Chain A
Amino acid sequence: MHPARKQRLILVVLLVALSSAAIGFVTYAMRANMDYFYAPRAFAAGEVPFEKRIRAGGCVVPGSIVRDSDSLDVRFAITDGEAELEVVFDKILPDLFAEGEAAVVTGKLQQDGYVRADQVLAKHDETYTPPEVADSMVGKASCQGDAKI
């Protein structure tokens, strides 16, 4: 290869390597801020500030949904397999919100340890299944509550 071309090749490789390293370090330094939500174990460990708008994500614990009889108020718990977090919400839940499914809630952590949410989003998992196949695997919860919800 011509020496001038070789030099330009080295410069291009260095440019890509150095800019990747720079952005890589910045991203690594901000890794906690890149998370869209906290897991319930972060609440249990006291890492989440009170009375600030935060997000929490996890699997809706089966049997934990309690609806108020004469308003939209609903209480439920989400879990990441290690800790549970109580959520209170007073608006309409998304269609795909259900027990054993993942959800992300936005709201403020109260002193009593529950989150008063002003938004609840359903988080879909990466599986796609026709109804007939889904019927044949009843009992297999899609949201396992592990680290990657």
Chain B
Amino acid sequence: MSWQWFHRLGSPRWFYQKSSAWLPWLGGAALLLLSVGIVWGLGFAPEDFKQGNSYRIIYIHVPAAFLALAGYYIMAISGAIGLIWKMKLSFVVMRAAAPIGAALTFIALFTGAVWGKPTWGTYWVWDARITSMLILFFLYLGVMALSGAFSREQSGDKASALLALVGTVNIPIIYKSVDWWFTLHQPATLKLTEASTIDPSMFYPLITMIAGFYLFYAWVLTLHTRTMILQREGRTQWVRELLGAPAPTKA
């Protein structure tokens, strides 16, 4: 089996040139789905018979939490590919994914707290779901801190990839925490194997928001990866030509 295509995929230059064509499509589709989902979910979906309007936080909370978990796998798998194949681009994607994931985790925690006050009667409890989500937030911050803690870039790549890989165990724990233990947080509403316990009129805007968040994530990750490629490859010939810088700069 030829691995050539795989190695070409790992070239930052190849990615930078190809990805510029994806950006308008990703960005446009993400903004379209997000604006349709927001207006539909916040303006037109019916109220919940018990929670009233406060349930509408689901349209931000659930997609953000989905992407916080999925983004962790993207970060960890990128780190693993980087470790195994010594692929430069892979480590760049890993580093680029960390702050995005941290931001999404924060949004999920914050919106959950805002919803928890009127619904449960408290902003915060230390149940298994919320605590494991807080650990996810710290894991993202840890990967960010560790990747920047070395003067040699390659050392930071390796150390943070190892931390990201060890942290993957937290993802199934977060996902299953509401089934394994008694938690204040309710079990999953959207189910893979059985019917979801949400009315269709509320479900369609939610699935629109989730799709929008996935596209938005892909868009932001591509943008951030491109910026980091320019930073890391700043001394190479192709970046200098691209930026129109005449003389090599000493960093």
Q: Are B201 and A127 in contact (CB under 8 A)?
A: no
For B184, what are the chain A residues with a Cβ–Cβ distance below 8 Å? 36-37, 57, 104, 121, 123
Quote the shortest CB–CB distance from A137 to chain B (angstroms).
10
The docked-state distance in angstroms from the alpha carbon of A119 to that of B184 is: 13
Instruction: Establish whether residues B49 and A134, one from each chain, have CB atoms under 8 Å apart when the complex forms.
Output: yes
Residues on B with beta carbons closer than 8 Å to the beta carbon of A94: 119-121
> With a CB–CB cut-off of 8 A, which chain A residues contact B126?
36
A128 and B166 contact, Cβ closer than 8 Å, known pairs A5-B85, A9-B84, A104-B184: no
Residues of chain A in range 57-116 having any CB-CB distance to chain B below 8 Å: 57, 94-97, 104
Give every chain A residue within 8 A of B58 (Cβ-Cβ).
128
Chain B contacts of A97 at CB under 8 A?
A: 121
- Asked whether B189 is an interface residue with its Cβ less than 8 Å from the other chain, the reply is yes
Measured between alpha carbons, how far is A92 from B122 in the docked complex, in Å? 13
| A130-B46, A148-B187 given; A122·B173 CB < 8 A | no
Task: Check if A96 sits within 8 Å of B201, measured CB to CB.
Answer: no
Inter-chain CA distance A15–B50, complex, in Å, is 46
The yes or no answer to B220 lying at the interface (CB within 8 A) is no
Q: For residue B55, which residue of chain A has the nearest CB?
A: A128
Question: Number of A-B pairs whose CB atoms are under 8 Å?
Answer: 124
Q: How many interface residues does chain A have, given as a range?
A: 35 or more
**Is residue A31 contacting chain B, with contact meaning CB distance below 8 A?**
yes
Contact B179 A129 (CB under 8 A): no
Asked if residues B51 and A96 are in contact (CB atoms below 8 Å), the reply is: yes
Residues facing B in A1-53 (CB within 8 A) are: 1, 5, 8-9, 12, 15-16, 19-20, 23-24, 27, 31, 34-39
Pairwise interchain contact B199-A27, C-beta atoms closer than 8 A = no
Known A-B contacts A12-B83, A134-B49; the reply to A57 vs B187 at CB < 8 A is no
Closest to A132 in B: B46
Closest chain B residue to A125, Cβ basis:
B186
Interface centre among B118, B127, B184, B197 (most CB of A within 10 A): B184
A36 and B125 form a contact (CB under 8 A): yes
Q: Whole-angstrom distance between the alpha carbons of A37 and B127 in the complex?
A: 9
A36 to B162, CA, bound (A): 31
A149 to B187: give the CA distance in the assembly, Å.
9
Indicate which residue in A23, A34, A130, A132 contacts B128 across the interface (CB closer than 8 Å): A34
B153 at the interface (CB under 8 A from A): no
The 29 listed contacts between A and B (C-beta, < 8 Å) are: A1-B3, A8-B84, A9-B84, A12-B80, A15-B166, A35-B181, A36-B182, A37-B184, A38-B182, A57-B184, A94-B119, A95-B121, A96-B50, A121-B122, A123-B184, A124-B51, A127-B198, A128-B51, A128-B55, A128-B197, A128-B202, A129-B48, A129-B49, A133-B199, A134-B49, A134-B50, A135-B49, A148-B179, A149-B182
